[in-house]
Amino acid sequence: MKTSVTIKDVAKQAGVSVATVSAVVNEHKKKVSLSQESRERVLTAIKTLSYKVNTQARMLRTGRSNTIGVIASDLAQPFTAESVSLIEQEVNVRNYSFLLSDILNSKGLEWRYIDLFKQKQVDGYLFIGASNEFDNKAIVALIENGIPVVLTERDLHEHSVPCILVDNVKGAYLATNHLISKGHERICFISGPESNLITHERLKGYRKALAEKNLTHFEQLEPAHGMGLKHGYDAANKLLCSQPRPTAIFAFNDMLALGAMKALREAGLRIPEDIAIVGFDDVPVAEFAGIPLTTVRQPRVKMCHIGVGMLLDILEHKYPKGYYAKVILPPELIIRQSS
């Protein structure tokens, strides 16, 4: 690998100064006035030498990295993985890079991660998903230091932080109401961990649907101890011991629902005849479950698009200082055969 070509080489080749080269390279940023001629010359020199700016040097000089830190709550969750993939696209389109971390791999070490990213000079942070493991204080500290932060699929109620969310209350309402309309009264909510704010939102929607039909006395909660298949399985097994048994389940997310379905099957229960179930997210595998899973779809693509867009816009000062917005997107009930 021959040593890379620098701005100097280009300048020499084009017979201009480095300043001029820099000017044409960064042309888009400022309305500079360059003569057509030197512009052309520089451009061809760049092409013939196949010059690429050294991002390191630029970062050092400008103090900006054009990189965002993406902190995911659990990459192993299909929903999260897809989000990361989408984010990657958006970030690329806008000519940024991103550093990724999966906080599930470092329970309690979120501070260390943020620190690490800070050291790498990320310009801003994107948090996706709300793992129970995560200490919100770390995010708050960021905000208080004026560092741009955007959250998707996660919220921080009492703070002025931009976040992109599906309407969780409405989604849960839709799911629960659908179950009620199918004639169910005893509907159990397999919730996420207590510490998860989103769980509370969905609980609200669940309760609202129940209340509307005067079913509040049938409310039944079964908190899962995590977000994975196994946790859904365990929760369902516990729930199955309750008397009288619910005739329907609304699970916090699809993975929990899929896990629960295994327990239901093992208990010899038919879905949806003996017990109906609906999930949340609409991960790809939901459609391919033994009994295709009814679920509430989140507008993933839009959420990621808006989330990244907003963060980068903030970084590029396209909003007034202190600006923030909470964007709430509509959920969509996808009815399949599990209900």
CA distances in angstroms from 316 to 123, 132, 325, listed in the order given? 10, 32, 16
- CA terminus-to-terminus distance, the chain: 61
Q: Which amino acid is at 330?
A: P
Asked if 1 touches DNA (CB under 7 A), the answer is no
Smallest distance from the beta carbon of 33 to DNA, in angstroms? 2
Binding mask 51-90 for DNA (x = CB under 7 A): xxxx--xx-xxx----------------------------
Smallest distance from the beta carbon of 39 to DNA, in angstroms? 7
Q: For residue 130, count other CB atoms closer than 10 A to its CB.
A: 25
Smallest distance from the beta carbon of 61 to a copy of itself, in angstroms? 9
Q: What is the DSSP string of 111-134?
A: HHHHHHHHHTT-SEEEEES--TT-
Interface with a copy of itself (CB under 8 A), residue from 233, 250, 252, 280: 233
Q: Measured between alpha carbons, how far is 67 from 64 in angstroms, rounded to an integer?
A: 8
Asked if 59 touches a copy of itself (CB under 8 A), the answer is yes
Binding mask 257-296 for a copy of itself (x = CB under 8 A): -xx-xx--x------------------xx-xxxxxx----
Of 14-22, 50-58, 243-251, 304-312, which segment contacts a copy of itself by CB under 8 A? Answer: 50-58
Asked if 9 touches a copy of itself (CB under 8 A), the answer is no
Find where tokens 């699929």 sit: 153
Smallest distance from the beta carbon of 9 to DNA, in angstroms? 8
Indicate which of DNA, a copy of itself, none lies near residue 37 (CB less than 5 to 8 Å, by partner kind).
DNA
Smallest distance from the beta carbon of 292 to a copy of itself, in angstroms? 8
Residue whose CB is less far from DNA, 52 or 318: 52
Tell me how many residues contact DNA (CB under 7 A).
Answer: 32
> Which tokens hold the place of 110?
């979120």
Residue whose CB is less far from DNA, 64 or 157: 64
Site residues for DNA, 242-271, by CB under 7 A, read none
Side-chain-facing half-sphere of 60: CA atoms under 13 Å: 5
Side-chain-facing half-sphere of 99: CA atoms under 13 Å: 19
Contacts of 239 by beta carbon, 8 Å cutoff, 6+ apart = 188, 190, 220, 222, 245, 246, 249, 260
CA distances in angstroms from 223 to 115, 199, 220, listed in the order given? 33, 10, 10
Site residues for a copy of itself, 61-120, by CB under 8 A, read 65, 75-76, 78, 80-82, 84-85, 88-89, 92, 97-102, 104-106, 115-116, 118-120
Indicate the burial class of 147 (C-beta count within 10 angstroms; 0-12, 13-18, 19 or more): middle
> Which tokens hold the place of 132?
């129970």
Smallest distance from the beta carbon of 246 to a copy of itself, in angstroms? 21
Residue whose CB is less far from a copy of itself, 146 or 244: 146
Residue whose CB is less far from DNA, 17 or 89: 17
Asked if 34 touches DNA (CB under 7 A), the answer is yes
Of 47-55, 143-151, 193-201, 277-285, which segment contacts DNA by CB under 7 A? Answer: 47-55
- Conformational region of residue 102, where left means phi above 0, alpha means psi within -120 to 50, and beta covers everything else: beta
According to DSSP, the β-strands at 332-334 and 187-191 are unpaired
Q: Give the SS3 label for residue 102.
A: strand
Contact 130, 202 (CB under 8 A): no
The residues of the shown chain that bind DNA, judged by CB under 7 A, are: 3-4, 6-8, 15-23, 25-26, 32-35, 37-39, 51-54, 57-58, 60-62
The residues of the shown chain that bind a copy of itself, judged by CB under 8 A, are: 1, 52-57, 59-60, 65, 75-76, 78, 80-82, 84-85, 88-89, 92, 97-102, 104-106, 115-116, 118-121, 145-147, 228-229, 233, 258-259, 261-262, 265, 284-285, 287-292
